[in-house]
């Protein structure tokens, strides 16, 4: 039924589905792996399905003349597509899909290049040097965060410095900001510096890993 509908309905044609390599997931007697034994004796059917479609930003942008040669920015790979027969609280068996999602960067070069200066220790204030590309839309609300190398979210920073309030020097090539020694982890470890752009609402520069 679904495969026939995909051929007829335009909105379904772009959706993909993995191979059905599991038994029909409907209809079961409750709390069992036995298909319907009621008076109706419904035929087993694959009523529980997972379809997906990726809408890439370049699909919209290319219509407006942007990124005309850009490849798909997002790709999805189905790792597995299975049912779970051990669940028995419904007359359906649940189905799950596990996907690998790959997102390609919109820009190949960072908008901001930054690095720690000198020895980083909790015994004294430390310095950061950074430079931005000429067209970078900087803001007074931009900040540079100190992150452990294993960070997973922009809010995982250990501490941060405002690029404007904590600036101590500036020239046409680069700027310097400081971080207070009181905020530097005394336990040390391996860290990164990340520049967060308020206007772009994202990290636009990441340093090489370094030791504290």
SS (H, E, C) the chain: CHHHHHHHCHHHHCCEECCCCCCCCECECCCCCCECCCCCCCCCECCCCCEECCCCHHHHHHHHCCCCCCCCCEEEEEEEEEECCCCCCCCECCEEEEEEEEECCCCCCCCEEEEEECCCCCCCCEEEEEEECCCCCCCCCCEEEEEECCCCCHHHCCEEEECCCCEEEECCCCEEEEECHHHCCCCCCEEEEEEEECCCCEEEEECCCEEC
Distance CA 191, CA 182 (A): 16
Question: d(Cα 10, Cα 16) in Å, to the nearest integer?
Answer: 13
Contacts of 90 (CB under 8 A, 6+ apart): 28, 30
Residues 114 and 129: beta-carbon distance below 8 Å:
yes
For domain 112-211, say whether CATH 3.20.20.140 is its number.
no
* Candidate CATH numbers 3.40.30.10, 3.30.390.10, 3.30.1330.10, 3.60.10.10; the one for domain 1-103: 3.60.10.10
Domain ranges in the chain are: 1-103, 112-211
pLDDT at 107: 63
pLDDT value of residue 106: 64
pLDDT average per 10 residues of sequence, the chain (212 residues): 90 92 96 94 94 70 45 83 94 96 76 95 95 92 97 95 95 94 93 96 95 96
pLDDT at res. 172: 87
What's residue 75's pLDDT? Answer: 85
- In this predicted structure, what is the pLDDT of residue 64? 45
């Amino acid at each position: 039924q679904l495969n026939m509908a995909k051929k007829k309905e335009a909105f379904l044609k772009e959706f993909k589905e993995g191979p059905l390599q599991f038994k029909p997931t409907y209809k079961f007697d409750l709390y069992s792996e036995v298909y319907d034994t009621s008076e109706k004796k419904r035929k087993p059917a694959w009523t529980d399905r997972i379809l997906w479609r990726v809408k890439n930003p370049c699909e919209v942008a290319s219509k407006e003349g942007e990124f005309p040669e850009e490849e798909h920015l997002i790709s999805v790979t189905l790792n597995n597509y299975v049912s779970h027969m051990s669940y028995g609280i419904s007359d359906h068996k649940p189905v799950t899909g596990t996907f690998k999602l790959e997102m390609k960067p919109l820009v190949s070069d960072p908008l901001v290049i930054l690095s720690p200066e000198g020895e980083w220790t909790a015994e004294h204030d430390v310095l950061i040097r950074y430079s931005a590309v000429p067209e970078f839309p900087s803001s007074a609300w931009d900040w540079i965060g100190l992150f452990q190398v294993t960070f997973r979210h922009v809010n995982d920073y250990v501490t941060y410095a405002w690029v404007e309030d904590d600036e101590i020097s500036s020239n046409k090539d680069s700027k310097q900001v400081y971080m207070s020694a009181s905020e530097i982890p005394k336990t040390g470890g391996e860290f990164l510096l990340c520049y967060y752009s308020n206007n772009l609402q994202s990290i636009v520069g990441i340093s090489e890993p370094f030791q504290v």
